[in-house]
């Protein structure tokens, strides 16, 4: 078969940056046999280039050419169409809306009901009709047809597909500017904003239609294009004109734009001295701005409001309710059919008592703030609650997108108000696109959760779809995080989550494994080893990451004060943000029980409250979210809390060591660039998982004094501390937090202009070893290191991870900049000398933590 020979050639010829993501339209292996199975001519029932129907026809032309190598013509007029029922196949693919088909006198004979944005694909002989409920639905249908084709399947039977919920939005946390001229993305790890630069909308918006295309292909229907921590300038005419350009570029893809607003805008712009939502002048201000905005963007989806949260102004400033605040905007957009999304991420951290009021709990805030307001929101208000792992708009998470949290009880309480769940695609607390994290099972654990309202099945996915409480609105929002990076998110694999999000918002019952297999075929091609490996690693990614970060519901244990990235469990107590673990020498966990604790468990409907209030019935994986227990408390698994911590951290980091090895086996089986960039991430993750393992285990061992039954924690037989070497031009440096360096100490060059040398005589038998060097790479310079064995350089590297990795740049020597490089299969004679030469660069003093020399295959 010819394609077998051709395919690898084609692939190695084209180095792929990832910019086309899952829409590469790459030639499928069986393309020749499929060419005759698809129609040869396309009719678009709307030839206006602004119409998603026209876009659909263009995508089909591109798709047929790329996937099948088949050139097809587009016939603009519907005159060539014959009504169904004719027995002559004419090989036409017709795409349009139900109304347009009717106008063209085609009886589409729809048996299933189509809801907004849904579609029906009718296959009849050699004809295919893609019938959208609306123009956007027709485009979704075309993308769905192409999705099948790009996986080697020609749809051969008619089918209907409707979205589960009307709201399927992405949120962007893009700033107009940040410090310098860059349009930054808050919690974004994929480069600068595609929308803004230097305080204005970019001149060059060429990435915007490419992005809208990706969104449309997975059923997303709107994008909030600026940060919820919104800048007041967003409503100035010069910015609104720029938003109009963005909207014009997205409209052909059926993606509407929406805006986040700063509640205090009237005051911040100096127009009024108040932003009281009940003041007439304030109401008029917002109506005028809204009218002006809709003149430029007549199909604006609506507004997103974060108010009275994290120091942001809001209605509470004037003793007004959240409903007063939300309804102000809801009334302004109502004449235009717009929606107001109000974020339930409400808490006032200034009232939290860091010094230890046992009953204080930020998790309680959302329900408390919304208490008594259900029913007072206008019907075009949607409350966006962070889901358990997510913290922002809709109703999902009680704290903030942690590695495991329970579902927000607010979902059960807003029965007369539309709600949406807010998820996070960008991996703020979950490895910032440098650790692999596939969200499917995590999101399902939220969406499939049964809140048992009134003793009846009340799945979160049914609540947000509006089914459970008969709400016409509701759905999904996700914080996207994409930027100018060619991979969009800063990582090829991370893009599976954007794809997944669209698929799940359309149908929350899709299979976790099925989605990742589809995505892999579309993104990396058909090699079965590639598909299997990506699926396996992706499905392992959540338990692996949870294992080496924060277990049993204690939260992710990242540095909470700064980058939200590396390990820093000490920062999880005494911080002003209310993310606490209440760890002391004997015990750990937030007591959220009803009688003795913060009462959070009591915010759930009785059946769920009972489960969480009772330590016996609380699942192990949320134990420390709900209960405060001694480290020696025995879990349902039979292990103690502290031993579970130790075991899980070893299990997780040991599994992460397999990722680069498994990935290496795929070389030549997929695009080389995508392969090598992904390998780079896996190698880094494997090293950083060991930093995590040791930082967390050392911290809790130190705090509790309880040793690891298996003798691993604090015992590192293969390790040589840099501080125990002979130093010349290097000196000892105590690292903060101490647990992020082995033996609390690293070495740094004594001056910022002269290199340092650390050397030691190795006490290993002659043989072949892997040699790992743990060092720190701050985001402030390009220090250089060289490793010698008996005077021979075996490796040289530079402190450039701030440009080769995606996580937030950090300036300090800590768990976020800790990094490992490993040299494999190094021949080491007995009594060899090992030497590291570090060349500082500016303020980066070539820090080294330790060297580990271990037999290949061992996890040190
Ligand atoms: C064709 O598309 C344009 C742009 O979306 C729209 O204004 C027009 O109403 C559409 N025509 C029909 C017949 O649907
Ligand atoms: C950024 O915008 C300001 C006006 O707001 C302008 O003065 C400045 O020249 C711009 N900077 C660049 C680099 O274009
Ligand atoms: C909004 O942006 C302007 C600069 O464009 C800045 O001066 C102002 O402080 C920003 N407002 C907020 C609330 O951050
Ligand atoms: C509304 O705000 C304006 C501007 O600050 C003020 O002059 C007016 O008195 C306020 N109206 C009421 C009823 O408080
Ligand atoms: C809000 O209410 C508190 C307590 O009732 C009061 O002290 C405060 O002055 C009020 N603030 C405003 C802006 O009305
Ligand atoms: C915080 O809690 C501590 C200990 O319970 C108490 O001494 C202190 O007064 C509290 N502070 C505030 C501001 O409530
Ligand atoms: C009850 O709360 C107190 C703090 O007020 C805490 O010290 C104690 O451990 C808690 N008891 C139980 C059984 O959780
Ligand atoms: C996570 O840790 C638990 C407890 O040690 C273990 O049973 C499980 O296999 C681990 N899973 C992974 C993927 O590391
Ligand atoms: C650990 O670090 C201290 C200095 O912080 C040093 O004196 C000691 O030798 C180190 N231990 C080892 C085993 O390197
Ligand atoms: C994209 O991000 C990766 C880090 O994740 C970086 O190595 C690469 O240089 C970036 N590429 C572009 C074109 O910005
Ligand atoms: C080098 O160190 C000196 C003294 O600490 C400091 O003044 C200088 O700014 C440093 N140079 C750089 C490039 O960081």
pTM: 0.95
Supply the residue whose CA is at minimum distance from atom 11 of ligand 1. 46
- Asked whether the beta carbons of 612 and 601 are under 8 A apart, the reply is yes
Better-scored residue on pLDDT, 592 or 359: 592
Residues 6+ apart with CB under 8 A from 480: 170, 171, 172, 223, 425, 426, 498
Answer whether residue 659 shows pLDDT above 50: yes
Ligand lying nearest the CA atom of residue 843: 11
Q: Model confidence at 787, in pLDDT bands (50, 70, 90)? A: very high
pLDDT of residue 312: 81
Share of the chain above pLDDT 90, in %: 83
Q: Model confidence at 288, in pLDDT bands (50, 70, 90)? A: very high
Residue 591 designated active-site: no
Q: What b-and-e string marks burial along 74-89, b requiring 16 or more CB atoms within 10 Å of the CB?
A: bbeebeebeeeeeeee
Residue 428 designated active-site: yes
Better-scored residue on pLDDT, 12 or 365: 365
Does ligand 3 lie within 6 Å of residue 231's CB atom? yes
Reported as a single tens digit per residue, the pLDDT across 158-204 is 999 999 999 999 999 999 987 666 779 999 999 999 999 999 999 99
* Distance from the alpha carbon of residue 232 to the mean position of ligand 3, in angstroms: 7
Q: Model confidence at 728, in pLDDT bands (50, 70, 90)? A: very high
pLDDT of residue 78: 54
Answer whether residue 276 shows pLDDT above 90: yes
Does ligand 8 lie within 6 Å of residue 254's CB atom? no
Answer whether residue 419 shows pLDDT above 70: yes
Does ligand 2 lie within 6 Å of residue 238's CB atom? no
Share of the chain above pLDDT 70, in %: 93
pLDDT of residue 80: 54
Better-scored residue on pLDDT, 400 or 783: 783
Sign of the Cα torsion 216, 222, 227, 233 reads positive
Better-scored residue on pLDDT, 445 or 84: 445
Reported as a single tens digit per residue, the pLDDT across 699-720 is 999 999 999 999 999 999 999 9
Bond before 737 cis per omega within 30 degrees: yes
pLDDT of residue 50: 94
Reported as a single tens digit per residue, the pLDDT across 391-406 is 233 334 556 789 999 9
Best mutation site among 198, 238, 239, 242 for ligand 2, i.e. most ligand atoms within 8 A of its Cβ? 198
Supply the residue whose CA is at minimum distance from atom 7 of ligand 1. 51
Q: Which two tokens stand for residue 288?
A: 């005028």
Pairing relationship of beta strands 127-132 and 119-124 according to DSSP bridges: antiparallel
pLDDT of residue 392: 31
Nearest atom of ligand 7 to the alpha carbon of 591? 14
Distance, in Å, from the CA atom of 53 to the CA atom of 19, rounded to the nearest integer, reads 24
pLDDT of residue 106: 75
Reported as a single tens digit per residue, the pLDDT across 729-761 is 999 999 999 999 999 999 999 999 999 999 999
Q: What number is the average pLDDT over the span 415-432?
A: 94
Reported as a single tens digit per residue, the pLDDT across 505-527 is 999 999 999 999 999 999 999 99
Answer whether residue 311 shows pLDDT above 90: no
The whole-chain average pLDDT of the chain stands at 92
Give all domains of the chain, ordered by start, each with its CATH number: 38-161 (3.30.379.10), 167-510 (3.20.20.80), 719-854 (2.60.120.260)
pLDDT of residue 1: 33
pLDDT of residue 334: 95
Q: Which two tokens stand for residue 615?
A: 């330590």
Tally of CB atoms within 10 A around 427: 28
Ligand 4 pocket, CB under 6 A: 272-274, 279, 281
Ligand lying nearest the CA atom of residue 353: 6
Ligand lying nearest the CA atom of residue 47: 1
Answer whether residue 11 shows pLDDT above 60: no
Does ligand 8 lie within 6 Å of residue 46's CB atom? no
Answer whether residue 5 shows pLDDT above 80: no
Answer whether residue 262 shows pLDDT above 90: yes
Answer whether residue 79 shows pLDDT above 80: no
Better-scored residue on pLDDT, 220 or 312: 220
Residues 6+ apart with CB under 8 A from 81: 43, 92, 94, 104, 106
In 3D, which of 843, 653, 647, 860 has the Cα closest to residue 771?
860
* Distance from the alpha carbon of residue 723 to the mean position of ligand 9, in angstroms: 6
Q: Which of 310, 360, 450, 621 is catalytic?
A: 310
Supply the residue whose CA is at minimum distance from atom 8 of ligand 3. 231
pLDDT of residue 85: 42
* Overall size of the chain counted in residues: 860
Reported as a single tens digit per residue, the pLDDT across 34-51 is 999 999 999 999 989 999
Supply the residue whose CA is at minimum distance from atom 13 of ligand 2. 181
Does ligand 2 lie within 6 Å of residue 181's CB atom? yes
Q: Which of 400, 613, 677, 694 is catalytic?
A: 400
pLDDT of residue 393: 34
Helix (H) or strand (E) run with residue 701 in it: helix 672-704
Q: State the DSSP string of 163-210.
A: -S-SEEEEE--B-S--SSSB--BTT--S-S-SSEETTEE-S--THHHH
Question: Of 197-206, 265-274, 385-394, 815-824, which range is least confident?
Answer: 385-394
Distance, in Å, from the CA atom of 657 to the CA atom of 821, rounded to the nearest integer, reads 13
């Amino acid at each position: 078969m010819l394609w077998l020979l051709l395919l690898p050639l084609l692939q190695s010829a084209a180095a792929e940056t990832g910019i086309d993501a899952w829409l590469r339209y790459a030639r499928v292996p069986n393309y020749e046999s499929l060419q005759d199975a698809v129609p040869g001519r396309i009719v678009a029932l709307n030839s206006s280039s602004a119409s998603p129907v026209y876009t659909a026809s263009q995508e089909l032309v591109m798709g047929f050419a790329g996937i099948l190598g088949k050139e097809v013509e587009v016939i603009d007029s519907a005159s060539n169409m014959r009504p169904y029922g004719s027995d002559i196949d004419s090989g036409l693919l017709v795409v349009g809306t139900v109304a347009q088909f009717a106008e063209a006198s085609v009886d589409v004979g729809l048996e299933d009901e189509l809801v907004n944005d849904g579609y029906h694909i009718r296959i009849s002989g050699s004809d295919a009709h893609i019938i959208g409920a609306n123009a956007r639905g027709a485009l979704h249908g075309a993308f769905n047809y192409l999705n099948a084709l790009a996986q080697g399947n020609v749809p051969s039977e008619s089918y209907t597909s409707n979205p589960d919920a009307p709201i399927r939005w992405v949120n962007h946390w893009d700033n107009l500017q940040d410090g310098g001229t860059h349009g930054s993305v808050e919690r974004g790890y994929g480069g600068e904003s595609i929308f803004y630069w230097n305080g204005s909308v970019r001149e060059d918006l060429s990435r915007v239609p490419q992005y809208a295309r990706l969104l449309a292909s997975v059923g997303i229907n709107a994008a909030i294009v600026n940060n919820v921590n919104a800048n007041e300038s967003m409503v100035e005419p010069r910015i609104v004109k720029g938003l109009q350009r963005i909207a014009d570029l997205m409209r052909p893809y059926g993606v509407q734009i929406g805006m986040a607003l700063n509640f205090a805008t009237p005051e911040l712009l100096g127009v009024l001295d108040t932003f009281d939502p009940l003041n007439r002048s304030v109401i008029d201000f917002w109506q005028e701005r809204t009218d002006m905005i809709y003149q430029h963007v007549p199909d604006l989806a609506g507004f997103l409001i974060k108010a009275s949260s994290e120091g942001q102004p809001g209605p509470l400033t004037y003793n007004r309710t959240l409903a007063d605040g939300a309804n102000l905007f809801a009334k302004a957009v109502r004449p235009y059919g717009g929606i107001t999304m109000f974020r339930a991420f409400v808490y006032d951290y200034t009232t939290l008592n860091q010094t230890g009021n046992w009953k204080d709990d930020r998790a309680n805030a959302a329900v408390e703030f919304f208490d008594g307001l259900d029913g007072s929101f206008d019907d075009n208000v949607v409350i966006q609650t962070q889901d358990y792992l997510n913290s922002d708009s809709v109703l999902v998470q009680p704290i903030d997108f942690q590695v495991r949290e329970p579902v927000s009880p607010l979902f059960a309480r807003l029965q007369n108000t539309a709600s949406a769940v807010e998820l996070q695609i960008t991996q703020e607390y979950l490895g910032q696109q440098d650790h692999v994290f596939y969200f499917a099972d995590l999101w399902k654990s939220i969406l499939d959760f049964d809140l048992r309202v009134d003793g009846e099945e009340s799945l979160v996915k049914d609540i947000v779809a509006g089914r459970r409480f008969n709400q016409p609105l509701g759905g999904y929002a996700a914080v996207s995080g994409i930027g100018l990076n060619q991979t969009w998110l800063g990582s090829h694999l991370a893009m599976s989550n954007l794809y997944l999000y669209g698929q799940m918002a359309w149908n929350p019952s899709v299979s976790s494994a099925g989605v990742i297999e589809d995505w892999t075929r579309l993104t990396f091609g058909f090699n079965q080893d590639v598909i299997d490996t990506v699926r396996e690693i992706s499905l392992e990614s959540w338990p692996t990451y949870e294992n080496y970060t924060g277990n049993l519901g204690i939260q992710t244990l990242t540095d909470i004060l700064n980058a939200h990235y590396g390990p820093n469990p000490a920062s999880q107590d005494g911080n002003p943000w209310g993310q606490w673990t209440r760890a002391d020498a004997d015990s750990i966990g937030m007591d959220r029980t009803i009688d003795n604790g913060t009462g959070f468990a009591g915010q759930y409907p009785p059946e769920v409250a009972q489960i969480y209030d009772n330590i016996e019935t609380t699942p192990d994986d949320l134990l420390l979210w709900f209960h405060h227990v001694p480290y020696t408390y025995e879990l349902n698994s039979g292990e103690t809390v502290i031993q579970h911590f130790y075991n899980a951290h070893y299990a997780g980091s040991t599994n992460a060591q397999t990722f680069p090895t498994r990935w290496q086996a795929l070389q030549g089986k997929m695009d080389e660039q995508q392969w090598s960039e992904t390998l780079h991430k896996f190698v880094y993750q494997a090293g950083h998982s060991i930093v995590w393992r040791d930082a967390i285990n050392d911290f809790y061992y130190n705090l509790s004094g309880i040793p690891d039954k298996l003798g691993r924690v604090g015992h590192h037989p293969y390790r040589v501390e840099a501080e125990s070497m002979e130093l010349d031009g290097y000196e000892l440096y105590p690292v903060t937090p101490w647990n992020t360096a082995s033996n609390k100490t690293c070495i740094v060059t004594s001056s910022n202009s002269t290199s340092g040398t650390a050397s030691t005589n190795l006490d290993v038998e002659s043989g072949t070893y892997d040699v790992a060097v743990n060092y720190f790479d701050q985001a402030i310079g390009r220090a250089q290191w060289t490793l010698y064995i008996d005077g021979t350089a075996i490796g040289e590297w530079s402190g450039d991870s701030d440009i080769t990795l995606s996580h937030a740049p950090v300036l300090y020597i800590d768990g976020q900049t800790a990094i490992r490089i490993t040299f494999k299969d190094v021949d080491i004679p007995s009594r060899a000398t090992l030497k590291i030469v570090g060349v500082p660069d500016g303020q980066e003093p070539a820090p080294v933590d330790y060297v580990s020399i271990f037999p290949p295959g061992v996890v040190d």
